[in-house]
Amino acid sequence: MVGDGYLINKVNILKKNDANGNLKIVIAAAAVVIVAVLTVVAASGMVYIPVLTEILGTDEAVDLGIETDPLLFDNIVKEQGITLKDPVSQYQLTSNIIYSDTSPMDISLTSSDLSSYLQATNNEGPLKDIQVKLGDNNQAEMSAYLDLKEYGYDFKGPVYAEGSIFKASDNSISIDIDSAKVGLLPLPEGSTEQGEQELENLINSHLSKMPDLKIGTLEVSDGTLNFQGDFPRTADVVDE
């Protein structure tokens, strides 16, 4: 016969095994949650997580396949007779710029032209490695690597947006963003609308400083940005 002591010992062993099994399940579940959270964080590009960030490709701006070359920017400045009184790197979207010498301008820019211009003037600012892929019917895509630490915000990571740009008046433009992402994560509609308004205000704030600016034609067609009107030929960066 099997003694009572033997049965009690057997029950205790089974309870211990069940407890160990449950613990393993909890640990495994916790590990899955941690990996999921880290993946979401890495996917945003806002926080650098070794290996995972590189695997997800959120350590750099989205590549839209646009070739850029500083010489393209130099050629635009030379061909249009534009005078920049300061180093090119100071002409950022966030810089305070004084414009003058407005005269007629008729220019068409390819995606490479526009991206090269934006990189030459902005790569030392909060928006780096900007690429713009121009489409048709005023449609365009834009990608960049955004770093706002210098402005007091703990945010950095790749941003992407697609939408449209239109002439709003003789001296302003309108932007309509259809969708936007931070890293691999889509922005909520409310945040997209806020970003749309901020970008539109930023560009129009520059346009408002251009004396006698006249936007006759502004359109994106067949991969080209076409502008015809009156535009300043001289730019000077000043301290705030």
At 174, is the secondary structure helix, strand, or coil?
strand
| Locus of tokens 């400045």 | 77
Q: What is the pLDDT of residue 195?
A: 79
Contact 145, 156 (CB under 8 A): yes
| Containing structural domain, residue 98 | 70-237
In angstroms, rounded to a whole number, what is the distance separating the alpha carbons of residues 180 and 187? 6
Contact 77, 84 (CB under 8 A): yes
Whether residues 75 and 39 share a domain: the answer is no
Whether residues 136 and 97 share a domain: the answer is yes
Q: What is the pLDDT of residue 225?
A: 95
Q: What is the pLDDT of residue 75?
A: 94
Whether residues 26 and 123 share a domain: the answer is no
Contact 126, 148 (CB under 8 A): yes
Decide if 132 is inside a domain: yes
Q: What is the pLDDT of residue 11?
A: 44
pLDDT in tens, the chain (240 residues): 545 554 445 445 444 444 444 444 443 444 333 333 333 334 444 444 444 344 444 567 788 999 999 999 999 999 999 999 999 888 887 888 999 999 999 999 999 999 999 999 888 888 889 999 999 999 999 988 877 777 666 677 788 889 999 999 999 999 898 988 877 677 777 777 887 888 888 889 989 999 999 999 999 999 999 999 999 999 999 876
Whether residues 193 and 233 share a domain: the answer is yes
Decide if 64 is inside a domain: no
Decide if 228 is inside a domain: yes
Whether residues 39 and 74 share a domain: the answer is no
Decide if 141 is inside a domain: yes
Whether residues 223 and 175 share a domain: the answer is yes
Number of domains in the chain: 2
In angstroms, rounded to a whole number, what is the distance separating the alpha carbons of residues 231 and 133? 23
| Locus of tokens 């000077």 | 236
From the number of C-beta atoms within 10 Å of its C-beta (0-12, 13-18, 19+), residue 72 rates as: buried
Decide if 159 is inside a domain: yes
Tell me which H or E stretch contains 231. strand 224-237
Contact 102, 56 (CB under 8 A): no
Q: What is the pLDDT of residue 125?
A: 81
Decide if 63 is inside a domain: no
Whether residues 202 and 126 share a domain: the answer is yes
Which residues are registered as beta bridge partners of 235?
84, 99
In 3D, which of 231, 230, 234, 227 has the Cα closest to residue 107?
Answer: 227
Whether residues 51 and 75 share a domain: the answer is no
Q: What is the pLDDT of residue 23?
A: 42
Whether residues 220 and 143 share a domain: the answer is yes
Whether residues 51 and 112 share a domain: the answer is no
Q: What is the pLDDT of residue 5?
A: 52
Whether residues 14 and 123 share a domain: the answer is no
